[in-house]
């Protein structure tokens, strides 16, 4: 099994950049997208010619903003959007797909914004989202959490940690503590567990030509529960694949 996560920075833009051909190359059983930046009908229209996948989308109330999507060759038993909290459920950030043998949560975690203006909201989100995940974990079914978590956990996860710590969205102590909460719940950051000294990134700021200089951040993750950890899956960062300011990440069993 191969599962891909990819913040596409606009699904319609991605289609214009050859997204359909890239999907064929990736040959994934499940693809989790973040930041679709489109309404449900627009996502459906953009992906209507993608063959062999069941497609599920969750769009923000605000047009052209946020949004998540799951494409799955395996038909899930159920796909539930949002976390059932009104203050968080306006931005299309979460999908829970329930399969026979595992649960999968696709998430686009809120960015704390320029000058950290949404950091207080982000702190509240992290706590509420963790409580939501805890309810799913109670099913005792193996679980995969994936998506753009908008946080670099350790200094190795970004190119310039000292100049960004507690100054830039994605590397404040508040966000790092939110990530640690997931680890304390029993999730494993499988990429970092496998490659403790490897420095690869999944996001590069387009405004500063950061990708050309490889000045990036690792903020896209596969977090897995203990049952799946025992299966020793691999995680790869596909930095050679373009089409967004993020690159795909693959979990393979």
Residues annotated as catalytic are 108, 148, 246
- Of 142, 5, 136, nearest to 69 by C-alpha is 5
Range 159-164 contact pairs with CB under 8 angstroms and sequence separation of 24 or more: 159/201, 159/214, 159/215, 159/216, 159/217, 160/215
| 84 known ligand binder | no
Say whether 77 counts as a known binding-site residue. Answer: no
Residue 245, annotated ligand binder? yes
Residue 35 labelled as part of a binding site: yes
Q: Is 153 annotated as a binding residue?
A: no
Rounded CA-CA distance 194/79 in Å is 30
**Which residue matches tokens 């909201």?**
121
Residue numbering of the annotated binding site for Mg(2+):
7, 35, 148, 150, 245-246
Binding-site residues, please?
7, 35, 148, 150, 245-246
């Amino acid at each position: 099994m191969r599962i891909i996560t990819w913040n596409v920075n606009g699904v319609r833009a991605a289609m214009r950049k050859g997204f359909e051909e890239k999907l064929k190359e990736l040959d994934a059983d499940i693809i989790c997208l973040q930041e679709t930046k489109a309404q449900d009908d627009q996502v459906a229209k953009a992906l209507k010619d993608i063959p062999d996948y069941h497609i599920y989308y969750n769009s923000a109330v605000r047009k052209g903003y946020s949004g998540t999507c799951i494409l799955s060759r395996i038909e899930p038993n159920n796909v539930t959007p949002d976390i059932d909290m009104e203050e968080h459920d306006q931005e299309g950030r979460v999908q829970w797909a329930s399969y026979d043998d595992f649960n999968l949560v696709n998430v686009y975690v809120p960015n704390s914004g320029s000058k950290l203006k949404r950091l207080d909201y982000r702190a509240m989100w992290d706590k509420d989202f963790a409580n939501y995940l805890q309810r799913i974990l109670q099913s005792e079914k193996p679980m995969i959490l994936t998506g753009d978590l908008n946080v670099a956990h350790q200094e190795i996860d970004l190119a310039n940690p000292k100049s960004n710590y507690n100054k830039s969205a994605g590397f404040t102590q508040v966000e790092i503590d939110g990530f640690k909460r997931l680890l304390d719940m029993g999730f494993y950051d499988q990429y970092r567990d496998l490659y403790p000294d490897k420095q690869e990134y999944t996001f590069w700021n387009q405004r500063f030509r950061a990708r050309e200089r490889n000045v990036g951040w690792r903020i896209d993750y596969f977090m897995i529960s203990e049952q799946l950890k025992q299966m020793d899956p691999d995680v790869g960062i596909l930095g050679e694949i373009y089409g967004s300011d993020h690159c795909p990440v693959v979990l393979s069993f």
